[in-house]
Amino acid sequence: MSEILKQIQAKAKQNKKRIVLPEGSDERIVKASVQIVADKLAEITLIGNKADMEKRFGVSLDGITVVDPNAIDITPYATNLYELRKAKGMTMEEATRLAKDEMYLGVLMVEMDEADGMVAGANHSTGDMLRPGLQIVKTLPGIKTVSSCFIMVLPEDKGYGESGVFIFGDCAVNIDPTAEQLADIAIASAESAKSIAGIKEPRVAMLSFSTSCSASHPFVDKVNEASNIVHEKRPNLLISGDLQLDAAIEPKVACIKAPKSEVAGKANVLIFPDLQSGNIGYKLVERLAGAQAIGPICQGFNKPLNDLSRGCSVEDVINVVAITALQAQ
């Protein structure tokens, strides 16, 4: 396990949080839950049928709260959902049906303070995992955009980023962000750098195919507009305007292309201009450079909700629960 994950787990144990895992029908989720409780990493609520899970997966769920949507009074959850969504045309009938859905029920439990955070996505797409959260939990005060980041841990420290660690945002949620959304992504990624990755001074590079307006195009203007918005909202945050990747991370190139920038050559938070570059970028670094990609970590939600890859392992589930617990602190 990387040093950074060890630190995240240690911090999560210091102040145990309640995490709901709605996908109780998934063996990886159930086995991870048993391990998490044994390791005293978090308190776990599983959604599903206890006897069924114990029999199918050969585990004891003692010490884990299990909620069966078919055996509880669903009315308080349905009423809450109806109240939140009636202005959008949701009927009580629809709310009752949705509240029994494990993903909606999990998010409603977080919203109603029965859990501090949720981790799901082992057998749901990112979109299906995010949508109930976007509809119910909404965003943090001052932030309009839910986004995501990865903690990228390079296999060796060659002097890039923060001793070989970077935050990449947004690689999983916003397909074609506006300048305002890019600004929210940059601010939230800098916060995640501090609170989750332990980076004391985030240095945020707004990535582009242009450095210091070396090219002229609306894509470059958007990145610079986002940077200006961040300057206004967070005057103390170190953030660049448009920077090419090499100018962002390589001091020798930064000296030539952006000699006056406080960020160029030493960026530790990389903000991609859209989801195509972000998603492709993190996978390139993961596969070709052998970096560990921790995430996607959702940021900007009013309460912590996190997504799992459908290819996740038991260990991945445990790590995302630890990150979610840390966000809940």
Q: Which residues contribute to the site for ligand ACO (CB under 6 A)?
A: 88, 126-127, 130-131, 134-135, 139, 145-146, 172-175, 279, 296
Cβ-based nearer residue to ligand ACO, 146 or 325: 146
The phi, psi pair for 119, rounded to 5°, reads -130, 125
CB of 280 to ligand ACO, least distance (A): 10
Residue 117 C-beta: closest distance to ligand ACO, Å: 18
Residue placing its CB nearer to ligand ACO in the complex, 211 or 279: 279
Pairing of strands 147-153, 292-299: antiparallel
Buried-state track 253-290, b at ≥16 Cβ within 10 A, e below 16:
bbeebbeebebbbbbbbbbbbebeebbebbeebeeeee
Q: Which of residues 172 and 247 has its CB atom nearest to ligand ACO in the complex?
A: 172
Q: Which is nearer to ligand ACO, 34 or 294 (CB)?
A: 294
Q: How far is the CB of 296 from ligand ACO (least distance, A)?
A: 5
Q: In the bound complex, which residue of the shown chain has the CB atom lying closest to ligand ACO?
A: 134
The residue type of 208 is: S
Give the shortest CB-12-to-ligand ACO separation in angstroms: 22
Cα–Cα distance, 171 to 89 (Å, whole number): 32
Q: Which residues contact 114 (CB under 8 A, 6 or more apart)?
A: 18, 20, 45
Which residue is associated with the tokens 């943090």? 140
Q: Are 115 and 18 in contact (CB under 8 A)?
A: yes
Q: Which is nearer to ligand ACO, 107 or 258 (CB)?
A: 107
The secondary structure of residue 305, as a DSSP letter, is: E
Closer of 38 and 87 to ligand ACO (Cβ): 87
* Token pair of 213 as six digits: 């307006």
What is the C-alpha separation between 207 and 266, in angstroms, rounded? 13
User: Edge-to-edge strands of the sheet including 292-299?
Assistant: 238-243, 203-207, 269-271, 165-169, 147-153, 292-299
Min separation Cβ 299 and ligand ACO, Å: 10
CB-nearer residue toward ligand ACO: 176 or 262: 176
CB of 73 to ligand ACO, least distance (A): 26
Classified as helix, coil or strand, 325 is: helix
CB of 143 to ligand ACO, least distance (A): 8
Shortest spacing between CB 284 and ligand ACO, in angstroms: 13
Choice between 117 and 278, CB closer to ligand ACO = 278
SS3 144: coil
Cβ burial 144-181 (10 Å sphere, 16+ → b, else e): ebbbbbbbbbbeeeeebbbebbbbbbbbbbbeebebeb
